[in-house]
Amino acid sequence: MKQYVVTRPLYSEDAFADVHEKIHRHHKTVRHHFLLFCDLKRAKNAALSLLPFIGWMRIYQLKEWLLSDIVSGVSTGLVAVLQGLAYSLLASLPPWYGLFTAFFPVIVYFFLGTSRHISVGAFPVLSLMVGAVVTRLVPDEGPPVNITGFEGLTSDEQRVMVAASVTFLMGIMQLAMGLLQVGFIVMYLSDTLVSGFTTAAAVHILVSQLKFVLGLVVPGLSGPLSIVYTLEKIFVQIEKTNVCDLVTSILIMVVVFIVKEINDRYKAKLPVPIPIEVIMTVIACGVSYAFNFRVNYKVDVVGRIPVGYESPMAPNMQIFGQTAVEAFPMAIVGFAVAFSVAKVYSVKHDYIIDGNQELIAFGASNIIGAAFKSFAASTALSRSAVQESTGGKTQIAGLLSALIVMVVTLAIGFLLEPLPKSVLGAVVIVNLKGMLMQIREVPYLWRRDRPDCVVWLVTCLASILLGLDLGLAVGLGMELLTVVFRAQFPRCSVLANITGTDIYKDRKDYMSIYEPEGVKIFRIPSPIFFANIDFFRGKLVEVGFNPLRVLRKRNKALRTIRKLLKKGELSGPIEESEDESNMEELDQPTDFKDLPVQVNWNSELPANIQVPRVDVHSLILDFSAVSFLDISALKGLKAALKELIRVEVEVYIVACDVYIQKKLHSCMFFDDEVKSSMFFLTLHDAMLHILEKHPGFYRNVNFEVFYM
């Protein structure tokens, strides 16, 4: 086994500062930051960062990458057409508006996005959230909400206005967050929370597609318990199920599921995944047209798909006010999902993505897309997987997929008119497998991390029952609550020396340990702030004793001894006075100035005076995991230290962060009792200092000490 030997002085923080001179850092002023920003080179780099495509276009390897991008773009474009039509149904919009979502945001992201592999467009969870807003303002049954601008519009046109306006507002929020450099906000959405949320969204999507699979007329509902009411309306009319729709859907789901499993199992051997959704859609279109499903079997089909693009539309300001609460979680969820997928591919292919630039890219994509009547865009996991697995190298593949969508929109969209909506519903349901299978994480989380498991369950159940927007808020609240709970009630520990080393571990975890007599080492594993300072003080009491109680007992004993000395009655068995008047005096340091002798509190006292025995003479507080102290914690810590010092317990603080020490100095933490000399560089330094100071306690020491 390799070993190392270090010979150095024993350092307190003060001693180390005396020997080793620190570099004085000059903090940059606002003026300095402004001058740096105005620097020509930095301004040029900042401008280039807003157009990341310039960076990868410079290194584009035409011969090696172009063919892969073409194959990937065509494959992704075909999937994007199908998913655009399908996810429009989730948004409660006519199917062809999904083609707009698969085109305009992709073009904008090509110029502004930093990921080279994600496929931008409709995402089922976002589509469902848009659909909830749309059906709330323009319900299937009953009049729409009274909004200026709805006059003279059909129900579909009103819904398009709502979807475009909420998407525009969502884009503004994303763009603002990107410009303000607050991309870190997505870090508050943990993987556990996102998993529970997307699983709940998959359940909502599944229920929303049942009406197409069964061929039933069920009005779209939104709000708390909407999923329960939707299921009720479905089961009430279950006998009206269209058998042709049901058989078609089951057949599509079975075939697509089997082929997708083959794609997954043999993906290493297949040059490209089999585009089974596209194949089955083409077959379904042909069969529906040949047998005239719409007339002969009353099957609901996609119907007329207008040729070309519609004129731009300004968002409705009144809708902004009605949908602001829903738009914010949509902005966060859309970015969080896209960023997490982009991060996976950036690690896999070794390039860097910028969270703030991604916010700007998606914000601009949604703003421009909404102006052309597309709805909320993010990225779909399955579509991005197609773009990456078919060999896509850059967003050239995304640009080509947009061109495929444009061809369908401008020229061959009419071929999709006989497509049964039940086929689209079946395709959506099959693609939910990945999200629904996330429920398998629950047993693992329960065994490994129960607070995380609670976050998952609460987020999932709340999102299912209350709706996705409220469910996300509840899940985020629960997640923050668990963070507060972990910080407020951390697992403190008492450390001991591993025999023959300078290593200190939890004394409960190891057998070969050395715990010096009269010394306690208390490890604090979290920041100390207003919410947990009382918890730490309580834990300190559990480690040894209550110093304030001991101090008061000692001062009461001294008061009694003085009275007895004055009366000359010190020899008899006199009871200790229970008078607790003037408690502030009892909390002061013990004063022996008018006594003829020093009192040894651990020996037997005269007149049967009882004072709790203190077996600890030194307490070491390990601050290596303490990242900050707030003012409340600072006051509480100082009070605790004074209580210990006043009962003759030496306190040492080790491995304290330099910025915490600066704060302690700036807040006038030190005085005649609490001194900076109690701070030591390492735990072992403090232990050796105690050993030197109390040699009589350590006759059988298990490590050697060399003093310099």
| Residue 470, Cβ density class (10 Å: 0-12 exposed, 13-18 middle, ≥19 buried) | middle
Q: Does one domain contain both 290 and 380?
A: yes
| Residue 243, Cβ density class (10 Å: 0-12 exposed, 13-18 middle, ≥19 buried) | exposed
In a domain, 650, yes or no: yes
**What's 573's DSSP letter?**
-
Q: Does one domain contain both 391 and 357?
A: yes
Burial 587-619 (b: 16+ CB within 10 A, else e): eeeeeeeeeeeebebeeebebebebeebebbbb
Q: Distance between CA atoms of 480 and 483, rounded to whole angstroms?
A: 5
Q: Distance between CA atoms of 54 and 57, rounded to whole angstroms?
A: 5
Mean pLDDT along residues 158-171:
96
- Structure tokens given for 460: 């999932």
Closest listed residue to residue 118, CA positions, set 329, 275, 337? 337
Q: How confident is the model at residue 40 (pLDDT cuts 50, 70, 90)?
A: low
Q: How confident is the model at residue 137 (pLDDT cuts 50, 70, 90)?
A: very high
Q: Residue 36 above 90 pLDDT?
A: no
Q: Residue 46 above 80 pLDDT?
A: no
In a domain, 55, yes or no: yes
Closest listed residue to residue 170, CA positions, set 142, 129, 211, 201? 129
Share of the chain above pLDDT 90, in %: 54
Q: What pLDDT score does 577 carry?
A: 47
HEC sequence for 473-532 = HHHHHHHHHHHHHHHHCCCCEEEEEECCCCCEEECCCCCCEECCCCEEEEECCCCECCCC
Q: What pLDDT score does 223 carry?
A: 82
- Of 154-168, 477-491, 687-701, give the range with the top mean pLDDT: 154-168
| Contact criterion met (CB below 8 Å) for 104 and 97 | no
Q: Does one domain contain both 161 and 244?
A: yes
Q: Does one domain contain both 533 and 674?
A: yes
| Residue 554, Cβ density class (10 Å: 0-12 exposed, 13-18 middle, ≥19 buried) | buried
Domain that holds residue 652: 493-545+614-705
User: For the segment 277-329, what is each residue's pLDDT rounded down to a tens digit?
Assistant: 889 999 999 999 999 999 999 999 998 889 999 999 999 999 999 999 999 99
Mean pLDDT along residues 221-231:
89
| Contact criterion met (CB below 8 Å) for 358 and 335 | yes
User: For the segment 619-648, what is each residue's pLDDT rounded down to a tens digit?
Assistant: 999 999 999 999 999 999 999 999 899 888
Q: What pLDDT score does 622 carry?
A: 95
Q: Does one domain contain both 56 and 202?
A: yes
In a domain, 592, yes or no: no
**What's 188's DSSP letter?**
G
In a domain, 671, yes or no: yes
In a domain, 479, yes or no: yes
Q: What pLDDT score does 705 carry?
A: 45
Phi, psi of 395 (to 5 degrees): -75, 5
Q: Residue 9 above 80 pLDDT?
A: yes
| Contact criterion met (CB below 8 Å) for 460 and 196 | yes
- Structure tokens given for 181: 């450099």
User: For the segment 546-562, what is each residue's pLDDT rounded down to a tens digit?
Assistant: 888 888 888 888 777 77
Q: Residue 221 above 90 pLDDT?
A: no
- Give the domain-ending residue among 485, 509, 535: 485
Q: How confident is the model at residue 383 (pLDDT cuts 50, 70, 90)?
A: confident
Residue with tokens 């993010």: 378
Q: Does one domain contain both 478 and 534?
A: no
Q: Does one domain contain both 409 and 337?
A: yes
Q: Residue 406 above 90 pLDDT?
A: yes
Q: Does one domain contain both 528 and 467?
A: no
Q: Residue 136 above 70 pLDDT?
A: yes
In a domain, 665, yes or no: yes
Q: How confident is the model at residue 700 (pLDDT cuts 50, 70, 90)?
A: very low
Q: How confident is the model at residue 696 (pLDDT cuts 50, 70, 90)?
A: low
What is the pTM assigned to this prediction?
0.81
In a domain, 1, yes or no: no
| Least confident window among 55-69, 187-201, 665-679, 694-708 | 694-708
| Contact criterion met (CB below 8 Å) for 273 and 393 | no
User: For the segment 579-600, what is each residue's pLDDT rounded down to a tens digit?
Assistant: 555 556 666 766 666 666 667 7
Mean pLDDT along residues 354-368:
94
The three-class DSSP label of residue 621 is strand
User: For the segment 410-426, what is each residue's pLDDT rounded down to a tens digit?
Assistant: 999 899 999 999 999 99
Query: What CATH number does residue 533 fall under?
Result: 3.30.750.24
- Give the domain-ending residue among 469, 485, 501: 485
User: For the segment 443-464, what is each residue's pLDDT rounded down to a tens digit?
Assistant: 999 999 999 999 999 999 999 9
Side-chain-side CA neighbours of 524 within 13 Å: the count stands at: 31
Mean pLDDT along residues 385-408:
91
Q: How confident is the model at residue 152 (pLDDT cuts 50, 70, 90)?
A: confident
In a domain, 567, yes or no: no
Q: Residue 26 above 80 pLDDT?
A: no
Q: What pLDDT score does 33 carry?
A: 57
Mean pLDDT, the chain, integer: 87
Mean pLDDT along residues 116-142:
91
Q: What are the distances in angstroms from CA 29 to CA 22, 34, 227, 670?
A: 21, 9, 55, 30
Q: Does one domain contain both 473 and 500?
A: no
- Regarding beta strands 679-680 and 513-514, do their DSSP bridges make them parallel or antiparallel, or are they unpaired? unpaired
Helices 62-90, 276-291: axis angle to 10 degrees equals 50
Q: Distance between CA atoms of 164 and 366, rounded to whole angstroms?
A: 9
| Contact criterion met (CB below 8 Å) for 379 and 121 | yes
Q: Does one domain contain both 402 and 510?
A: no
Q: What pLDDT score does 590 carry?
A: 67
- Give the domain-ending residue among 485, 511, 533: 485
Q: What angle do CA 31, 33, 35 make, to 5 degrees?
A: 70
Q: Does one domain contain both 619 and 473?
A: no
How many domains is the chain built from?
A: 2
Q: Does one domain contain both 459 and 502?
A: no
User: For the segment 244-278, what is each residue's pLDDT rounded down to a tens digit?
Assistant: 999 999 999 999 999 999 988 888 888 878 888 88
